[in-house]
């Protein structure tokens, strides 16, 4: 008798668990790619815990071997009418999970790197937000190893456009097709904004003239934090910043002199000459020219200029924001969100491949200017404690980029940027182009607060203003 009861209860448990796997959205996603479709976990309960706010995570299978990881959060307010924002981490080859958990997502990684807290200043307060790990190989996205060794920005643009086609074709997300679309990013991601933005607009033209079919991308805004997209122009400002930023002199006068001589050296060691040679070389022509230039410029020159300071936040050497790798490497967490394989916070092969081909040392200023001139609402921002994307270079770019607003930017002074009456920095704005320098913040501006403002409050205001009003203003 007792053994029958035991068997019955075993059966009952088995039935319950099968039924559970059919209806439990957290039971994971198919392990095999489904080319041309999304594999999705809906409402995993991870990160966004605001009641009633929809989220989905999973893969867009570009082919049987290329799967792009995404995480979508519906806007906490009025999702049907809110814009759709794409966040792309820069790095190069760094996961967008950093932006999600360290800066602007619905939750923040805690100091223990293994738990999270709800973020009241998440960008999905005002927008539907889509985080994508790209190029393939970065974060949770995966693909063949040989592919990682030869990625270019143009290929990355094609992959992301293809992903968006799958996304908009999916019945869960097709309602966002016509939403105002934005590309928001930082540091090297400025190059993604430049290349992807122009590619998306060209694809829209091709759809309009019937040469391809697809869903047009309704690109309306671009946001770039501490953007580096013209190293030849921007690199000299690393010296200026090292000598005279608001916080500390980063290196000795002796080192500045040595590095200046190295920059201008007329023999083969000259950094300026090496970058110029790379600029003059096409990707296929001579990889070694650009590879040598990248090594000499970044490792030999730039990396000397911040001394022993943290180049993302020169005010402190604390490990902040905390790493997301321990949290995202947890197998139980991965199963909940449908992630497969190793979490690659930064994929060095992808990084090398972008650097080696000279993609890193390219001038994207004309492409950025094209987008601005087409009236796409554009925001540049910089934390004043950021060395890498320093405000000195940003503020010269405002008047040197070949835009329709060059004169206006030159004539408009920087004035106070307030958030609810608290001073957050200085800004200027001409037509659809805005710039803000945030006081006290490091590179990842959304991770900082200060001066009676909470972490992320300033970033949410400039984001919201740009996507809803087309430019920023003091409040």
Ligand X SMILES: *[C@@H]1O[C@H](CO)[C@@H](O)[C@H](O)[C@H]1NC(C)=O
Smallest distance, ligand X to C-beta of residue 146, A: 11
Residues 445-464 that bind ligand X (CB under 6 A): 460-461, 464
Q: Which of 24, 80, 112, 202 binds ligand X (CB under 6 A)?
A: 202
Residue 209 sits in the site that holds ligand X (CB under 6 A)? yes
| Closer Cβ to ligand X, 49 or 475, answer by number | 475
CA nearest neighbour of 200 among 225, 221, 186: 221
Q: Which of 47, 126, 187, 371 binds ligand X (CB under 6 A)?
A: 126
Half-sphere exposure of 471 (CA within 13 A, CB side): 13
Residue 418 sits in the site that holds ligand X (CB under 6 A)? no
Strand partners, 379: 223, 434
Residue 205 sits in the site that holds ligand X (CB under 6 A)? yes
Residue 302 token pair = 């730039």
Residue 154 sits in the site that holds ligand X (CB under 6 A)? no
| Closer Cβ to ligand X, 225 or 470, answer by number | 470
| Closer Cβ to ligand X, 24 or 205, answer by number | 205
**Rounded Cα–Cα distance for residues 36 and 318 (Å):** 44
The pair phi, psi for residue 204, each rounded to 5°, is: -60, -45
Q: Which of 9, 65, 111, 268 binds ligand X (CB under 6 A)?
A: 111
Residue 320 sits in the site that holds ligand X (CB under 6 A)? yes
Residue 137 sits in the site that holds ligand X (CB under 6 A)? yes
Contacts of 16 (CB under 8 A, 6+ apart): none
Are 361 and 368 in contact, with CB atoms under 8 Å apart? no
Stretch that binds ligand X, among 47-55, 253-261, 292-300, 339-347 (CB under 6 A): 339-347
Residue 265 token pair = 């050296």
**Rounded Cα–Cα distance for residues 383 and 132 (Å):** 24
| Closer Cβ to ligand X, 298 or 464, answer by number | 464
Smallest distance, ligand X to C-beta of residue 349, A: 5
Residue 407 sits in the site that holds ligand X (CB under 6 A)? no
| Closer Cβ to ligand X, 202 or 285, answer by number | 202
Q: How many CB atoms lie within 10 A of CB 280?
A: 10
Please count the residues of this chain forming the interface with ligand X, following the rule CB under 6 A: 23
Smallest distance, ligand X to C-beta of residue 464, A: 4
Smallest distance, ligand X to C-beta of residue 142, A: 4
List the x/- string, 261-300, binding to ligand X by CB under 6 A: ----------------------------------------
| Closer Cβ to ligand X, 126 or 376, answer by number | 126
Smallest distance, ligand X to C-beta of residue 26, A: 21
Are 385 and 229 in contact, with CB atoms under 8 Å apart? no
Residue 137 token pair = 């190989």
Residue 342 sits in the site that holds ligand X (CB under 6 A)? yes
Stretch that binds ligand X, among 246-254, 344-352, 364-372, 390-398 (CB under 6 A): 344-352
Residue 349 sits in the site that holds ligand X (CB under 6 A)? yes
Contacts of 294 (CB under 8 A, 6+ apart): 278, 355, 356, 358, 360, 361
Residue 341 sits in the site that holds ligand X (CB under 6 A)? yes
How far is Cα of residue 232 from the mean position of the Cα atoms in its chain?
22
Residue 206 sits in the site that holds ligand X (CB under 6 A)? yes
Contacts of 98 (CB under 8 A, 6+ apart): 89, 324, 345, 444
**Rounded Cα–Cα distance for residues 397 and 239 (Å):** 16
Residue 51 token pair = 């009641």
**Rounded Cα–Cα distance for residues 92 and 27 (Å):** 33
| Closer Cβ to ligand X, 98 or 305, answer by number | 98
**Rounded Cα–Cα distance for residues 99 and 111 (Å):** 16
Q: How many CB atoms lie within 10 A of CB 78?
A: 9
| Closer Cβ to ligand X, 5 or 332, answer by number | 332
Q: Which of 72, 87, 101, 142 binds ligand X (CB under 6 A)?
A: 142
Enter the DSSP assignment of 468.
Answer: H
Torsion over CA: 240, 244, 248, 249 (sign): positive
| Closer Cβ to ligand X, 220 or 296, answer by number | 220
Stretch that binds ligand X, among 38-46, 241-249, 345-353, 443-451 (CB under 6 A): 345-353
Smallest distance, ligand X to C-beta of residue 471, A: 11
Q: Which of 310, 347, 457, 474 binds ligand X (CB under 6 A)?
A: 347
**Rounded Cα–Cα distance for residues 159 and 127 (Å):** 23
Positions of E strands within 287-438: 377-383, 415-419, 422-430, 433-438
Residue 211 sits in the site that holds ligand X (CB under 6 A)? yes
Angle subtended at Cα 104 by Cα 200 and Cα 120, rounded to the nearest 5 degrees: 135
Binding site for ligand X (CB under 6 A): 111, 125-126, 137, 142, 202, 205-206, 209, 211, 318, 320, 341-342, 344, 347-349, 460-461, 464, 468-469
């Amino acid at each position: 008798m007792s053994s029958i009861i035991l068997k019955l209860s075993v059966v009952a448990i088995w039935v319950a668990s099968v039924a559970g796997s059919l209806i439990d959205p957290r039971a994971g996603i198919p392990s095999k790619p489904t080319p041309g479709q999304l594999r999705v976990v809906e409402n995993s309960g991870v990160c966004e815990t605001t009641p009633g706010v929809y989220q989905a995570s999973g893969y867009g299978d570009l082919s049987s071997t290329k799967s792009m990881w995404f995480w979508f959060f519906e806007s906490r307010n009025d999702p049907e009418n809110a814009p759709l924002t794409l966040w792309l981490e820069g790095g190069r080859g760094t996961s967008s999970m950093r932006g999600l958990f360290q800066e602007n997502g619905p939750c923040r990684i805690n100091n223990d790197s293994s738990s999270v807290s709800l973020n009241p200043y998440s960008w999905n307060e005002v927008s539907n937000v889509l985080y994508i790990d790209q190029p393939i190989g970065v974060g949770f996205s995966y693909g063949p190893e040989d592919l990682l060794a030869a990625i270019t920005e143009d290929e990355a643009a094609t992959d992301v456009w293809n992903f968006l086609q799958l996304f908009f074709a999916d019945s869960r997300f097709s309602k966002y097709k016509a939403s105002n679309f934005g590309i928001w990013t930082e540091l090297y991601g400025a190059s993604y904004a430049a290349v992807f933005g122009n590619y998306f607009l060209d694809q829209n033209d091709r759809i309009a003239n019937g040469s391809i079919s697809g869903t047009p991308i309704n690109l309306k805004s671009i946001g770039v934090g501490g953007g580096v997209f013209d190293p030849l122009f921007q690199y000299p400002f690393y010296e200026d910043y090292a000598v005279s930023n608001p916080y500390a002199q980063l290196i000795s006068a002796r080192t500045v002199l040595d590095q200046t001589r190295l920059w201008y050296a007329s023999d083969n060691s000259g950094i300026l000459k090496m970058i110029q040679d790379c600029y003059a070389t096409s990707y296929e022509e001579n990889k070694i020219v650009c590879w040598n230039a990248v090594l000499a410029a970044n490792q030999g020159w730039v990396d000397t200029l911040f001394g022993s300071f943290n180049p993302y936040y020169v005010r402190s050497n604390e490990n902040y924001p905390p790493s997301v790798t321990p949290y995202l490497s947890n197998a139980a967490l991965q199963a909940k969100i449908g992630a497969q394989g190793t979490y690659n916070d930064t994929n060095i092969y992808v990084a090398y491949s972008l650097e080696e081909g000279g993609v890193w040392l390219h001038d994207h200023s004309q492409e950025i200017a094209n987008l601005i001139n087409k009236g796409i609402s554009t925001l540049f921002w910089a934390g004043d404690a950021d060395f890498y994307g320093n405000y000195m270079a940003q503020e010269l770019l405002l008047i040197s980029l070949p835009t329709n607003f060059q004169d206006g930017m030159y004539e408009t002074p920087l004035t106070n940027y307030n958030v609810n009456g608290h001073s957050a920095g200085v800004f200027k704005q001409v037509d659809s182009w805005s710039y803000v320098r945030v006081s006290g913040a490091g590179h990842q501006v959304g991770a900082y607060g200060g001066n009676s403002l909470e972490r992320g409050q300033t970033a949410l205001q400039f984001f919201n203003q740009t996507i809803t009003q087309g430019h920023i203003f003091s409040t």
